[in-house]
Each structure stands twice: as C-alpha cells, then as structure tokens.
Copies of this chain bind each other. A is one copy, B any other.
Amino acid sequence: MSETDPASTAAVDAAMTGAADAAPALATTSPVERARWLRSIADSLDADAPRLVPLAADESHLPVPRLTGELVRTTFQLRLFAEAIERGEYLRATIDHADPGWGMGPRPDLRRMMRPLGPAAVYAASNFPFAFSVAGGDTAAALAAGCPVIVKAHPAQPGLSRAVATRVREAMQASGAPRGAFGLVEGLEAGRRLVLHPALTVATFTGSLRGGRALFDLAASRPVPIPFYGELGSVNPVFVTAAAAAARPDAIATGFAASMTLGVGQFCTKPGVLLVPRDAGLETLVADAVRASSGGPMLDERIRDGFFAGLRQLTDRDDVEVLTGDPTAAGIPTPTLYATDAATLLAHPDELLEEHFGPAALLVRYGSPGEALAVAHALDGQLTATVHGEGDDPDAARLVDVLTEKAGRVLWGGWPTGVSVTYAQQHGGPYPATTAPHFTSVGTASIERFLRPVAYQDMPDDVLPPALQDSNPWHLPRTVDGAFVAAPSVDQDAPE
C-alpha cells in the first residue's frame, strides 16, 4: 500500500486535475442543464443494455433478469434526480430581507442557498453492478448537486466499469457537460491516493466495515479533513412477535428465506438476524424454507472466502447450532441458518451480531417480550430493522420505539431487501451502518450529501446567483422572511 505506483499516481492526478478545473464551471450550471446530463446518461445506458447486462452477468455471476431490473432502477434513479433538481427544493433557497426591527438588533439582507461541495470520489460496490457502481446513486446524486465525480471502479468488474464510464463520458459530452466532470480510476492504490488528494472535497463508499473504516480514517486524518459517507455494515434484524408468529407462520418463514437468500444474500439490507418467540413452532418452518432456497455463485472469490471464513467462526461455537446448510463447503454456498438463544446473544453481542455477507442468518429464540426488547437495546446502528406484529400489538409498538433509536429505516412487516428510490427513502443509520448518520445514500435526499450552504449578505441583485435573485428566475420554492413560498408557476418563457 505504501510504495508508489507511478501509473496510479498519474491517473489519480490527471482525473483530479480535470475535476478541480471543472468544479467552478459545474457550480454555476443550472439544474436544468445538469438534468439534461443525467437524462442523457440514462438514455445511453438504456440503449446499451443488450451489451451491458451480459457484461455485468459475466463479471458478477448475478442472473440476467436481476441485472436487467437493476439497470431499470439505475436509469429511473438518474431521471428521478433530474426531476428533483429541476423542481429546486434541494437548493433550499432562503431569503431574509433587511429588517431594522429584528429582535436582537437590525438585520441585514441575508440570502442562503446550497452549493456543490466540489470534486467527489465515489467508491463503487460490486453487489449492485449498476445501481451502486459507476453510474449508480452516488454518481447521480453528486452530478445532480453539481460536483465533478471520480469513480474508483470495483476491481471485480473492470470491463463493465469501463463500458459504463465510456457511456457516461460520451453522454455528458454530448449534452454539454464540461470536460473533467467525470472520471474513472482503478486499483487499490488509486483508491488510497484519491481519498488523500488535496483537491478532493467529499467521498462516498459502500462496502465492508474494514475497508470503509480504513478510508474513513484516511479522510479524517487529512490536513484538511473531508466528509466521508461510508455505508459499512448492518445485520438488519427482524423481530417476530408472538401474535405474528401465531397468525402467519408460513408467510413469515417463506418471506424471510426469500429475502435472506435474494441475490445470494449479498445485499447490505439482507436480514441477518431473525428474532422468534421460543416454542412458537417457527423454527422448523424457517429452517425448512431456508433449506428449500437456492444458493448461487458469489460475486467474487474474495467475498466468497470471507463468507466461509465468517461462517467457520459461528460453526465452531458450542452455543450456536446449524439448523440447515453446509458451512464447511467451499465454492457455491448453500443457504445456511444458525440458531441460538437470546441469552447467548446478549452475552456475546459483538461476535454474534457480526455481518455475514452472503446467504446465512442467525435465528434467535427469545423467551419473553422483555427479552426481545433487551436484544433490540443491545443492537449497534443498523440500516434497517423490521417488526412483524399483528394489529393492536403492544409488543410490536414497543419494539418500534427502541428500533427507531437504532436504525435508519424501520419496517412494519415485509422485508428490508428491495430499497425503493423515492423522496422519503432513508438508507443510512448510526455507525457502523454508516459513518454519517445525518444522510441517506438512496432517494432524492441523497443529493444533500454533496452540498454546502452559502449565505450572501447585502449582495446586489445582479451579483446574486439566480436562485436568490428577487425576480426568482428559476421559479423556485423559497423560504422568505421565515415563511415558505411555493414555486411560482412557470410561464412560457421559462429560462434554461
């Protein structure tokens, strides 16, 4: 890691120089211009699907139908972000007119809006070859905000990464984006140099706790520290109350097995821990459903080896049983279900609540609602937490209260996999789910990660950015003297 690789150095320096040069130009582009780039990228990727999807399948071992759907999600996301910035709420334009009678003393004219942070690094994940990779959510959000993007490609998918990067670059050039607004670098050392580069202003990462924490530590150690949005790890606990276990045991068992094994268990939202009432009869049903599920080849050898190494530690324990699966196998994993008691979990939370990235989960038997609550209290930060309750179920409501303190998204029924890209989505959570609990990495609110506020004081109208000018030429919703004012309707001569 510490020796210098001249090729990496040159590639990172060249990409960063381009990004830094492009940043001021990007910062003054209008949302309408950037929306055009995002739609152009989406169109280009959709058009190239017949070539990109097989390439993704080859490099990820994921099935073609799943990847086809993921590309739909990815281009939908680009277009949704285009719409969101055109509407302009993301700018949060706020105008306080001068007020000589302001309660603490005369107030100057102050106008505040969001502006792009500057060059952004995006560390691509391999488990979503499209949606969390080169043209995925982080890239879409950063470009939507007006930040130049340098993607660090995932090493398992070099061909797909380059192909998508070429589409992105061509589409952006064709739709008028400045050169240098998008770049791609490859390799471990390039990734390390990137986060330390003086011109970088923000970085995002989706991946392992170890890798993400190492990058977070580098970002914090810089002479000029930068925000680092890492999504690191989550076991996404699911709590089943006695009422739910009695009412719909089969649906819970099959639903859980399907969610846990979806994508060979390689989702950051995979439910990894299932809390069930002891003696409710759910254990056998769940084990049967997991046994009936399919495994499949994992994304790459490193992930597969890590998965089996993690399972060995569970299998070796006296206080954990294997209900189904063959954790000693190598190669293609079979869905594996472990079981233990809540008391054991509470005695060894660090070891038993570790994430296993792949088709494995731990069923935990609890004896009373109080014991289930104790497990909820013992959890680290999570991306998601799910409660299966029934109607007027006080046990479930109490669990929701505690899990709200722990997770970014709390589900009632259903399963945490399948993260919808919407306005209200929250994909984040307290550490180690993420390194930045204030933000989401999915949904339109993810654009906020790439923005910082600037206020202008007593600035002449013609020097102000359009978003803050009196005539509101971009037809934005704004907050004026503390009151929200909806966007004026756009007339015929709407500006670019």
Chain A interface (Cβ < 8 Å from any Cβ of B): 23-24, 27-28, 69, 72-73, 76-77, 79-80, 87, 89, 94-96, 102-105, 107-108, 110-112, 115, 117-118, 201, 216-217, 220-221, 224-227, 380-381, 396-397, 400-401, 404-405, 407-414, 418, 420-426, 428, 430-432, 435-440, 445, 448, 451-460, 463, 477, 479, 481-482, 484, 486
Contact = CB atoms under 8 A, between A and B. Distances in A.
A24 B406 CA distance: 11
Contacts of A452: 408, 428, 430, 437-438
A103 B115 contact: no
Nearest to A95: B424
Nearest to A444: B482
A141 to B, nearest CB: 14
A460 to B, nearest CB: 6
B89 A455 contact: no
Point out which of A105, A407, A421, A424 has the most chain B C-beta atoms below 10 A from its C-beta: A424
B420 A110 contact: yes
Nearest to A224: B431
Contact of A463 (B226, B396, B408): B396
Given A24-B405, A453-B440, A454-B409, A424 B111 contact: yes
Given A455-B408, A484-B89, A423 B479 contact: yes
Contact of A422 (B24, B110, B408, B413): B110
Given A73-B104, A96-B422, A112-B425, 5 more contacts: A69-B105, A102-B422, A110-B422, A224-B380, A412-B460
Contacts of A27: 404-405
Contacts of A104: 72-73, 76-77, 420-421
State the number of copies, please. Answer: 2
B396 A110 contact: no
A397 B459 CA distance: 10
Nearest to A223: B431
A478 to B, nearest CB: 10
A431 B96 contact: no
Contact of A408 (B111, B439, B453): B453
A226 B380 CA distance: 14
B463 A400 contact: yes
Contact of A105 (B73, B115, B396): B73
Contact of A107 (B118, B220, B409, B420): B420
A49 B396 CA distance: 49
A94 B424 contact: yes
12 contacts: A96-B422, A110-B422, A112-B426, A224-B380, A224-B381, A227-B437, A400-B463, A410-B459, A411-B459, A438-B448, A438-B452, A484-B486
Contacts of A459: 400, 410-412
Given A459-B412, A463-B400, A424 B73 contact: no
A438 B453 contact: yes
